[in-house]
Amino acid sequence: MSADGSFGQAIDIETLEESGMLNPIGNVSFIEGAASVAFGESRAQVFASGNVNGRSENEKVLKKLMRMVEFSVRRALLCQGCGICMGHCEHNAIEIKEKRVRIRENCIHCGACIEVCPLIKFI
């Protein structure tokens, strides 16, 4: 099954890549104008146009994936560098650079940092 959505505005894929904010979801790859994240057997793509699509064999997993992608993109674009997420990362995979959080390569994709972010807490 698949799901489609839109942020209603263009997404800066370079900022998304530099932030590493999709890393907590799963394995991420980037091509010009798009990002792809694998979440188990499921996958989601974020396009520079602001469109998002996801595919999964399981509806519940697909809903969770799409929600995590939404939160992660919003975090990447709106991060204020408060560091709350750092306290929830047991693997020290989060750093603050230039007043913005960056998820490093040693992220194990546990997702503990995603929903604690004040930017998305009340969406």
pLDDT at 120: 81
80 part of a folded domain: yes
Its pTM stands at: 0.92
Q: How many residues does the chain have?
A: 123
Please list, in sequence order, all residues whose beta carbon lies within 8 angstroms of the beta carbon of residue 44, skipping any fewer than 6 positions away.
25, 36, 37, 52, 53, 54, 55, 65, 66, 69
Print the domain residue range for 20.
Answer: 2-103
27 part of a folded domain: yes
Q: How many domains does the chain have?
A: 1
pLDDT at 123: 66
Segments of the chain scoring below 50 in pLDDT: none
Supply the CATH number for residue 45's domain: 3.30.310.10
111 part of a folded domain: no
Q: End-to-end distance of the chain based on CA atoms, in angstroms?
A: 25
Name the burial class of residue 78, with classes exposed (0-12), middle (13-18) and buried (19+) by CB atoms within 10 angstroms of its CB.
exposed
The DSSP 8-state label assigned to residue 16 in this structure reads H
pLDDT at 5: 97
Dihedral of alpha carbons 110, 112, 115, 119, sign: negative
